[in-house]
Chains A and B, each alone.
Chain A
Amino acid sequence: EAQVTQNPRYLITVTGKKLTVTCSQNMNHEYMSWYRQDPGLGLRQIYYSMNVEVTDKGDVPEGYKVSRKEKRNFPLILESPSPNQTSLYFCASSLSVGEQFFGPGTRLTVL
């Protein structure tokens, strides 16, 4: 089944404790992206990747890092999480043209 998977689905952590949210797709898509969804703000893009080893900042990259060492994986790294990073996070992938396919989301709470 073609899908985008994210792990974990839910995470509660404390300020400053490094964490990684994994994202994997099995559709051989070149393009991958991370978004955060906050009430009243819709989806905002954090980082995106056009292909392996090619990443760039989205609209709200501060406090986040990404890497794209393999085509299928695009982890999101929070080196020192803060409470304002409490949010619902979505990973998405697509071919170089076409619509995006979204993962199920990761709900992160930073205390």
Chain B
Amino acid sequence: GNSVTQMEGPVTLSEEAFLTINCTYTATGYPSLFWYVQYPGEGLQLLLKATKADDKGSNKGFEATYRKETTSFHLEKGSVQVSDSAVYFCALRTRGNYGQNFVFGPGTRLSVLP
């Protein structure tokens, strides 16, 4: 079946450090890929997405590139801020004959220290 694997957290960085959160997936067909962010006490919000190979999603300084050859969608940011402290979820969506299926990774908690 489809699955998403993320690097285990928590990840603790100093402000202005470079961030990478690894995400790899297993899926049949050609999934769409997403990064969601969950701030403390809130629901998940879409951060960025990519729908086909070599697409780059970007938002709020975060980027991720859909790499079909390595089945990866790593999240990066050049300079993190304290306000980026949150839990980040990698997810995929596939479409079949009977509709769509979403699968989420376990989440990676990021703490950014001033």
Which residues in A have some Cβ–Cβ distance to B below 8 Å?
Answer: 4, 31, 33, 35, 40-43, 45, 48, 50, 56, 90, 92, 94, 96-97, 99-105
Contacts and interface: CB of A to CB of B under 8 A. Distances in A.
B43 A43 contact: no
Interface size classification for chain B? 10 to 19
A90 B89 CA distance: 14
B105 A42 contact: yes
Interface centre among A48, A90, A102 (most CB of B within 10 A): A102
A31 B43 contact: no
Interface of B: 34, 36, 42-46, 49, 89, 93, 95, 98-100, 102, 104-107
Contacts of B107: 42-43
B105 A104 contact: no
Contacts of A41: 106
A42 B98 contact: no
Chain B facing A: main interface SS: strand
B49 A50 contact: no
A43 B99 contact: no
A99 B49 contact: yes
Nearest to A6: B43
Nearest to A104: B43
Contact of B102 (A100, A101, A105): A100
B89 A31 contact: no
Contacts of B104: 35, 42-43
B105 A97 contact: no
A94 B32 CA distance: 14
Contacts of A100: 44, 46, 102
Nearest to B36: A102
